[in-house]
Amino acid sequence: MDPRAVDAASAWVEETLAGLTLREKAGQLVMPWVGGEYTAVDSPEFDRLRRWVEEDRVGGVIVSIGLPHSHAAKLNRLQGLAEVPLLVTSDMENGPGMRMAGIYSIPHLLPQGGGTVFPPIMSIGATGSEEDAYELGRITGVEARAVGVHMTFGPVLDVNSNPVNPIINTRSFGEDPALVGRLGVAYVRGARDAGLMTTGKHFPGHGDTEVDSHIDLPRISADRARLEAVDLPPFQAAIDAGIEGIMTAHIAVTGVEGEDAPPATLSPYFMTELLRGEMGFEGLLFTDAMTMGGISRHYDAQEALILALEAGADVLLMPRDVTEAVDAVVGAVETGRVSEERLDESVRRILQAKAAAGLHEERLVDLEAVDRTVGIRAHTETARDIAERSLTLARDREELLPLAPGRGDVLSVTYARSSDLVAGRAFNAELAGGQALAVERVDDRTSAAEWDRLRARARAADRVIVSAYVAPVEYDGSVGLDSGVARFVSELVEEGGEVIAISFGNPYLLDYFPEVSSYLLAWGRGEESQRAAARALRGEIPITGRLPISLPPHHDRGTGIRLSPR
């Protein structure tokens, strides 16, 4: 960067900081949640947003699900109201489509378009490609900046070392710390080249938990040696690569801080002594959402905010009440519990991030450029290519893949949550290829009589394909299968049926039907992943992925049968 530009940015930071009142400084630390949907300026919802910006003087917002133009228009309007430009963040850990796509109109399920949809980042672990990770970061950066987002809460740097982890799972690159670090750094580099700042999460590592921190406080027994061997290396690699932000985890590390360990978010040891002192992190330190059960079920809302600030946090993400959060920080300074110098440290880092994003020069985006940038063909083709190359065939003992040209009578059974209305739609349409295909759908509400009918139908088929759409969902706490579908697969296999199981999500589902002869992993429920799996079954594309995790006791990390197209 031009030294003069650096000097100008630094001057803006110091001048802005010097001009803020105590309450305005406190507001800079608070970052509330904002929906990405269309909101009329003359509406109660926008009145609330206006109060946050004009009265509470929040430092930024985290924007959630909506369409690209809605994001851009709303963020432009909020930026116009802000005296100090807002730092806009979003959870786009596995691409812009995570927050700007996947929207369908009801009841016809017409897709509404949006940002580029990538498969979960474990798919990139399956390709093992730094170029793929770089492109995910770069395309996310291009599309995020086009709608006014300056920082993404990604990459996920958690090492998914626990197969029953209910919330990380396919959100991780894999179980090998070196792989996670290598791909995470490539992601950071790609995003930075597109002007997007990144935030590694969830420090000091959420990969070995069995509780969803959205619901309650996970407790892990890892000691410092375990952390240094498994969980910390990806974060250190990202810090060394200059990552701009780190988000902490609401997890209690009892192996380090004892049975009464606080959540890492509230721990001076993890937030300051380890992260800043030993690991040398100098960027923005975010809490995870302060409304999550890992905090809210155990601490008073305002007290938790001050404990996080005392521990070393710069940004208090998604407090229960914005005005109360600002008041709490002001009160902590006025009573001497937190010094104004400590508050200034965090405000300065926040302003430096805004300057790094160029917000001191321009804060608005060009609405006319959005549809020339977001979800364009070059981006969607990259996502499709990754989805195809990530397909991983863990086993095919009876060589059931690809389907024979005549293929006989094939039954496709889709298992998904009852709320997942699009599971299997693209897969079955692509697999049918214009021919008749028998399709059934089951979920945890399927009755015993319906299972009996389906067993009879399956016994009459030449081949049965069972697709499971099970992925980590906030506040769900489970990534397992219903006993009905597990029993259905196991019984068919025992009777000698030809069954192909496909996971469009949780890769560890093999535990539910370990006897199945063919197990294909497509990693995610997105339409490109569904189409890729169908094309592979039809023998139109190769299968080349390798497991970035082990499937104990069935398959080791690195397993993957390579199949050429027919």
Residues 319-346 have a mean pLDDT of 98
**pLDDT of 154 over the 90 cut:** yes
Residues 208-225 have a mean pLDDT of 94
pLDDT at residue number 5 = 83
The answer to whether 62 touches 318, Cβ cutoff 8 Å, is: yes
pLDDT at residue number 408 = 79
Q: How confident is the model at residue 162 (pLDDT cuts 50, 70, 90)?
A: very high
Residues 96-110 have a mean pLDDT of 90
Q: Is the dihedral of CA 522, 527, 528, 531 positive or negative?
A: positive
Q: How confident is the model at residue 1 (pLDDT cuts 50, 70, 90)?
A: low
Task: Reply yes or no on whether 56 is catalytic.
Answer: no
What is d(CA 282, CA 290) in angstroms, rounded to the nearest whole number? 22
What is d(CA 327, CA 340) in angstroms, rounded to the nearest whole number? 14
Q: Which of 155-164, 195-204, 475-484 has the lowest mean pLDDT?
A: 475-484
Task: Reply yes or no on whether 288 is catalytic.
Answer: yes
The answer to whether 537 touches 427, Cβ cutoff 8 Å, is: no
Average pLDDT taken over every residue of the chain: 96
pLDDT tens-digit series, residues 257-300: 999 999 999 999 999 999 999 999 999 999 999 999 999 999 99
Structure tokens at 272: 């300051």
Residues 327-336 have a mean pLDDT of 98
What is d(CA 264, CA 185) in angstroms, rounded to the nearest whole number? 23
CB-based contacts of 167, cutoff 8 Å, min separation 6: 206, 209, 212, 213, 214, 472, 474, 477
**pLDDT of 537 over the 90 cut:** yes
**Cα–chain center distance at 199:** 11
Structure tokens at 56: 């509470």
pTM exceeds 0.95 for this model: yes
pLDDT at residue number 6 = 85
pLDDT at residue number 3 = 80
**Cα–chain center distance at 427:** 23
Q: How many CB atoms lie within 10 A of CB 287?
A: 30
Residues 424-443 have a mean pLDDT of 93
Of the residues 214, 250, 360, 379, only one is catalytic, namely 214
Residues 207-226 have a mean pLDDT of 94
Burial code of 250-278, b = ≥16 C-beta within 10 A, e = fewer?
bbbbebbeeeebbbbbbbebbbbebbbee
pLDDT at residue number 2 = 78
**pLDDT of 436 over the 90 cut:** no
Can you list the positions of beta strands (E) in 79-135?
Answer: 87-90, 104-105, 110-111
Query: CATH classification of 31-372 is 3.40.50.720, yes or no?
Result: no
Of the residues 158, 231, 288, 420, only one is catalytic, namely 288
CATH number for the domain formed by residue range(s) 391-537:
3.40.50.1700
Residues 389-395 have a mean pLDDT of 98
pLDDT at residue number 407 = 65
Bridge partner list, 2: none
CA distances from 149 to 83, 155, 191, 363 (A): 18, 15, 12, 10
Residues 136-156 have a mean pLDDT of 98
Residues 511-539 have a mean pLDDT of 97
Stronger pLDDT, 476 or 518, i.e. the higher one? 518
Residues 543-549 have a mean pLDDT of 98
Q: State the alpha helices, DSSP H only, in 103-246.
A: 122-127, 130-147, 177-193, 224-226, 232-240
pLDDT at residue number 264 = 98
pLDDT tens-digit series, residues 476-498: 888 989 899 999 999 999 999 99
The domain spans of the chain are 31-372, 391-537
Among the listed residues 99, 233, 242, 103, the one whose alpha carbon sits nearest the alpha carbon of residue 159 = 233
CB-based contacts of 290, cutoff 8 Å, min separation 6: 296, 301, 304, 305, 308, 316, 317, 318, 319, 320
Percent of the chain topping pLDDT 70: 99
What crossing angle do the helices spanning 301-311 and 340-356 adopt, rounded to 10°? 80
pLDDT at residue number 305 = 98
Q: DSSP class of residue 271?
A: I
Among the listed residues 79, 47, 39, 35, the one whose alpha carbon sits nearest the alpha carbon of residue 60 = 79
